[in-house]
Amino acid sequence: MSSASLLYCVGATKAGTSWLYRYLHDHPACHVSAVKEAHYWDTFGPNRCASQIKAFERRAGQFATKASQEAEAGNIYRSENLFMQREKLQDLIQVLSTSRDGDRAYWDWLSIGAGRAEVVADITPAYGLVNKDTLKRMSALRPVTRFVYMLRDPLDRLWSNIRMAVSREVGTENFDLKANERLASVLAGQADAGVIARSDYRTAITKLQSSVSSDRLYTVFTEELISEQGLRDFCAFVGVQPRAADTKRKIHEGPSAVMDEGLAARAVQFLKDQYEWVAQNLGPLPQRWQDNLARAAS
């Protein structure tokens, strides 16, 4: 069994967690699974578990199809990688489908291939929505567990979340119009409640602070983490040596769209209590946050 510490990235959705996954993937002292989001801790309910397993089964089938296509095209390395991801996903489905007493199967799956890695990480932003009891259970799994929560500017995060959801549902035809219509629906309280929950930094962080030891919890502005100094500070928290990274690289950015300025101002007002709570409790706001907050008054 690996003696590595366990790092959870528990949020926020569309706040740069894919960039962090890639950074940890490339770090020689860290290990992450080929499956970025394990969704182990947020699928204890039978309905939620069944839904997630179906999603994973669909993805496994997609991996198999793509792997066969790559093999036919002569891209053997790519094909083997896709088959490996499919295999890893099928193993995870088995973990989710069986008894979770002790959570040993989850750790065994997560740490396979870790070797001498000092840190094993699970990057699943949805964990930011689990309850306090689950967070405490997560914390108790390993002798050393750490949690990181990334905060991206609330307006940017919301807009990115909306663009991702709309592109998955309807593609990119008339994308600007449809994305702005979805934003208007969110502001009117008519859209997916999950989008709002993922915008609620105050609730998520307050819950984490009451469930996780302060020396094991790292809350960080995305805009500051993805920088040379930010990575040094993060690696010091995790307990590994910093490694240089491409801080300009964007991962899973999704299709772009122009946000209506009137809606932008309304959205900032909608999110204003989040801006204010973060400013009061987590320190000065990064410049990007200040710039977007000013849109409410423009």
- Can you give the CATH number for the domain in which 16 is found? 3.40.50.300
Does residue 50 lie in a domain region? no
Does residue 75 lie in a domain region? no
**Structure token pair of residue 111:** 């740490």
Full domain range(s) for residue 187 = 5-44+100-297
Residue 89: predicted pLDDT: 97
Does residue 278 lie in a domain region? yes
Does residue 86 lie in a domain region? no
Does residue 123 lie in a domain region? yes
92-113 confidence digits (pLDDT tens):
999 999 989 899 999 999 999 9
Phi then psi dihedrals of residue 180, to 5 deg? -70, -35
Residue 250: predicted pLDDT: 80
- The answer to whether 44 and 126 have CB atoms below 8 angstroms apart is no
Domain count across the chain: 1
10-residue mean pLDDT series, the chain (298 residues): 88 94 97 96 96 97 96 95 95 95 95 96 97 97 98 96 90 89 92 84 97 97 96 98 89 85 94 95 95 82
Does residue 81 lie in a domain region? no
Burial 62-92 (b: 16+ CB within 10 A, else e): ebbebbeebeeeeeeeebebbbebbebbeeb
Residue 2: predicted pLDDT: 65
Q: What does the alpha-carbon distance between residue 118 and residue 238 come to, in Å, rounded to a whole number?
A: 9
